[in-house]
Structure 1
Amino acid sequence: MEGIVYALIPMVAWGSIGFVSNKIGGRPNQQTFGMTLGALLFALVVWILVRPEMTPILWGVGIIGGMLWSMGQYGQFQAMQYMGVSVANPLSSGAQLVFGSLIGAIVFGEWTKSIQFILGSIALLLLVIGFYFTSKQDSHKVVIEKGSDFGKGFRALTSSTIGYLSYAILFNNIMHFDALAVILPMAVGMVLGALLFMKFHIQLEAVVIKNALVGIMWGIGNIFMLLAAAKAGLAIAFSFSQLGVIISIIGGILFLGETKTKKEIGWLSIGIICFVAGAILLGVVKSF
């Protein structure tokens, strides 16, 4: 029970990042920079308290991983502005799950049993169906959201998915570090990546400082993800963390005023059900 409670915290923390940051405001590069500053502050506090052993290779790989993560987050913030949080977040998470699972199964041989291929294939199919319904738009919708551009949104999601997948593969499949040790080098890389998107024009505006709160939320989610995995196992921790999509969808509609027609609400509900079922099933696959 304790592990499940721990798993709920990253679900809420990570699921809230999109709508909290967009409620604060700012351009995607300002949101990314502010978030990375908060992550760096959190990482410094963790380092002071834990004092893990640090090696040159951990620093090098950690910084590269953090820069890849920044690419993913910057693209996600762009997609949110073009498509809305309630659409961009499930599409982003779903793309990472589908392509990450396929790469893990095909390239790194993570699926070795017949049951894993059967359940994994069903899970991926559910995620693809979830993709379709969460992004489906009513052709009779009268109100067009300001700044809405699905073409640009999908292009941003593509670069975001590449960044996130590269970061995940680097840390999960190629290199394996203690999460409490690598969090500081990674945070440094995150800030460097954000500065690249700002072309090193550092401006500590109010909106940037406020977005640091989002980085602290990200760090809290990371810590409790570790605790949940230790108490309840990786399968449960992983599955619950993906349910944050529900938080982001509800938050986008309630707090950002993203409008949905009755048809879109119905399609979104189907998409959420398929997405959640697929994510949980992938967690089951990981438990074998």
Structure 2
Amino acid sequence: MTGILLAILAAVSWGSIVFVSNKLGGDENSQTLGTTVGALVFAIVVYIYKMPELSTVTWAVGFVSGLLWCIGQKNQFGAVRYLGVAKTAPISTGLQLIGTTFFGVFIFKEWQTTTSIVIGLAGLACIIIGALLTSLNQGDDKGQKKSQKEGLLILLFSTVGFVTYVVLIRRFNIDGWAAILPQAIGMVTGAFFITIRDKPYNKYAIRNILTGLIWSTGNLGLLLALPKIGVATSFSISQTGIVISTIGGLFFLNERKSKKQVWIVLLGCLFIIIGGVLLGLTKR
């Protein structure tokens, strides 16, 4: 039960990130920089408390992982400008689950039985359906369709960053507690070089330190849940927090356009959640 609650903590924290950062204001550059600074502050506190042993490999892999995460997060924030929070959150989640599942199956050989393959494929099908539903464009405006295509392209870059940041840690079996500080340093470094041209040093970057603290809380919750309920189950539960971003975007950020669109997006979220749960069951 404790593991489930920790995974839910990750879901609530991560599901709030896009919504909270949007409310705090700023563009994707100031949001990314502020988030990484918040993550670094959190990582320093955790390191002082836990004092994990940091090897050269841990520093190198953690740092690169943080750089990759930065690419993923900046592009996710950037996609909001084209798609809105209500669409960005579920589509991004669906793509990440598909990406991590691909590596889990073909690289780490996690699906070993016929049952797990059937359940896993059903989960992927649900996620794809959900992502398609949330990305549907009801309007015929050409400018709107072009904006959606640009947003989806940005989300593809975001997915590459997010998936590889997770896979890299898994590939080298880096301890979660030890990875936090090198990862946070990589995140801040990546944010500095990626955003320096746009000079994101403003009040919005300072505000979004809160976003980084929220993200780090979710990250810690997931790390603590891993040894209790497993990787697949904990990660799948952690991704169900998209409901928060989606509902926040629809009802609190004035992204609602019609009742039909609201129901379609919510239905898409439901499919993605079901798909995530099914993927979690493949480890049983």
TM-score of Structure 1 vs Structure 2, range by shorter chain: over 0.9
The answer for the alignment partner of 2:23 in structure 1 is 23
Compute the displacement of 1:105 (Å).
1.1
- Note the alpha carbon deviations across 1:224-283, whole angstroms, 9 max, x for none: 222333444444422321111111101112221112312112211221221111000001
Q: Take 1:282 and 1:179, find their aligned partners in 2: how far apart are those partners?
A: 22
User: Which residue of the partner structure matches residue 273 of structure 1?
Assistant: 270
In 1, Cα distance between the equivalents of 2:225 and 2:105? 24
Say if 2:39 and 2:213, in contact at 8 Å, map to a contact too: yes
Length, aligned pairs only: 283
- Does residue 219 (structure 1) correspond to residue 247 (structure 2)? The answer is no
* TM-score (norm. length: structure 2): 0.93
Q: Distance in 2 between matches of 1:207 and 1:139?
A: 32
Q: Counterparts of 1:265 and 1:193 in 2: how far apart (Å)?
A: 36
Matched, 1:193 2:190: yes
* Runs of 4+ in structure 1 over 6 Å off: none
Aligned ranges 1:158-177 → 2 under 5 Å: 158-172=156-170, 174-177=171-174
Q: Deviations over 1:99-155 (max 9, x none)?
A: 2212321233221211111111111011110011111122379xx98xx92122011
**Per the alignment, in what secondary structure is the counterpart of residue 214 of structure 2?**
helix
SS in structure 2 at match of 1:62: helix
For 1:4, the equivalent position in structure 2 comes to: 4
- The question of whether the paired residues in 2 share the 8 Å contact of 1:195 and 1:202 is answered with no
Q: Quote the sequence identity (%).
A: 40
| Structure 2 match to 1:155 | 153
2:86 corresponds to 1:86: yes
The question of whether the paired residues in 1 share the 8 Å contact of 2:233 and 2:279 is answered with no
User: Match of 1:112?
Assistant: 112
User: 1:189-240: per-residue Cα shift (whole Å, max 9, x none)?
Assistant: 0011111211367653111011010100111111122233344444442232
CA RMSD across the alignment = 2.0
TM-score (norm 1): 0.92
Paired residues of 1:195 and 1:201 also in contact (CA < 8 A):
no
Asked if 1:70 corresponds to 2:91, the answer is: no
1:238 maps to which of 235, 240, 245: 235
